[in-house]
Amino acid sequence: MFHTKKYISEALGVPDNLHQTSLKLFDRIANWVKNLRKSDFVKGEGARTIIRGDFRISDFNFSNVKIQLGVESMDEVEEPTLISMVNRSESRKTEDFRLQTIKRKNVDLLILIAVPSDFKIKDLYQFFLTNKNEFVENLSHELKHAYDHHKKPFDSARQRAEYQSAISLNTGVPVIDQFINDIYYISVSENLVRPSELASAIQNNQVSQKDFLKFLGSNDTYQTVKRIASFDFENFKKELLSNPKELNYMLKHLKQKSKNLSDEEKLDIVLNSVYKALAGAQIKNFSEMITHHPIEMIMGFEGEKEKFFKKFINTVTKFKTPDEFFKFYEHKFRTIGREMMKKIAKLYAITNK
């Protein structure tokens, strides 16, 4: 039965030993946190350590895990909260405009936690223990990123540009920011790790076959994918129109006069600004990724690289209207979201009978 589950997991995109390695690493991190003191945290850098051992995820063997732990005090936070966990990897630019992955025998993780202003570092260990499942599932997510980086020789500059643009933009309007975040959420690199994240949650909670649907109904990751798969541009516009204050906020931010404009005209301006902002960010990121020499930043690209760059610009700016742009993502959200829901549903095969 053990080997059967192993083969099923790998067939579903969940590498062997990922959950077990995440559990092992969590215990090591928690033991380190147990002995941390306030003096161990350097301002602007947090606390650092290197955890050494024999770690394995399928055929990816690594011996060091670099940990950088940041704990940020926030007045608006009532209890400790895991803000983010990030796997940091490296790539080098190639002459054929690709990003070649740099292979390492270590994993580099950044963990950020928000705490109330009166929080004591000595209580951090208990926070880790209380939220063990959340940490293990996040570790599975990030270790799968590390595994994917190890397995693939190259990254796509185009996909990376789209991914990073969605991370970097923020408008302050919840409906729009959710749309932008959803672009990141259904990106190729993130979709590769979703089954692993869910598989870890299934094992953490020892989900049985009869409880599988109930588990999906309460799982944030699955529910987010389900919501993205049902994105409707017309409903998106209606939601924005129902909040005229947010439209006016965006226009003020854009330094656009809103007087004598109808709500529909305001909406058109806002949607166009979102399209242009995302396209501009993607072009900027893509340009930086294929730039090899400082002079190219001043003089621009030449030859084949110039053609390559212009082709990317034409792809990003091909939409004649903002509506075309949002309709494109409506189709993309629905297609990728439904595909991901099907993949997640197949994890039923690894639940407990």
Condensed to tens digits (0 to 9), the pLDDT of residues 107-159 reads: 999 999 999 999 999 999 999 999 999 999 999 999 999 999 999 888 888 88
Tell me which residue of 112, 92, 111, 110 sits closest to 100, measured CA to CA: 92
Q: Which amino acid is at 256?
A: Q
Helix (H) or strand (E) holding 246: helix 244-253
Structure tokens that stand for 85 in this block: 């966990």
Please report which confidence band the pLDDT of residue 353 belongs to, taking 50, 70 and 90 as the band edges: confident
Nearest to 66 by CA among 80, 79, 78, 52: 52
Q: Which residues contact 5 (CB under 8 A, 6 or more apart)?
A: 350
Higher pLDDT, 94 or 130: 130
Under DSSP, is residue 56 helix (H, G, I), strand (E, B) or coil? strand
DSSP assignment, residue 105?
Answer: S
Gyration radius of the chain over CA positions: 22
Mean pLDDT, range 331-341, rounded to an integer: 96
Q: Give residue 52's pLDDT.
A: 97
Environment class of 222 (CB within 10 Å of its CB; exposed 0-12, middle 13-18, buried 19+): buried
Q: In whole angstroms, how far apart are CA 138 and each of 7, 195, 201, 311?
A: 23, 12, 10, 37
Would you kindly state where each structural domain of the chain is located, as residue ranges?
1-131, 156-353
Element housing 220 (H / E): helix 220-229
Q: What is the DSSP letter of 41?
A: P
Is the dihedral angle over the CA atoms 123, 126, 130, 134 positive or is it negative? positive
Helices (H) and strands (E) in the chain, counts: 16, 7
Query: Phi then psi for 351, rounded to 5 degrees?
Result: -75, 165
- Report the DSSP pairing between strands 60-73 and 106-115: parallel
Instruction: Give backbone dihedrals phi and psi of 65, rounded to 5 degrees, phi first.
Output: -125, 110
The CA distance from 129 to 350, in Å, is 26
Look at the pTM and tell me if it is higher than 0.85. yes
Q: Tell me: the pLDDT tens digits for 208-263?
A: 999 999 999 999 999 999 999 999 999 999 999 999 898 988 998 888 887 788 99
State pLDDT tens for residues 142-201. 999 999 999 988 888 888 899 899 988 999 899 999 999 999 999 988 988 999 999 999
Q: How confident is the model at residue 2, as a pLDDT? A: 46
The CA–CA distances, whole Å, from 139 to 87, 92, 156 equal 9, 25, 24
Tokens of 227: 């919501």
Q: Kind and range of the H or E element at 81?
A: strand 81-87
- 3-state secondary structure labels for all residues of 291-313: CCCHHHHHHCCCHHHHHHHHHHH
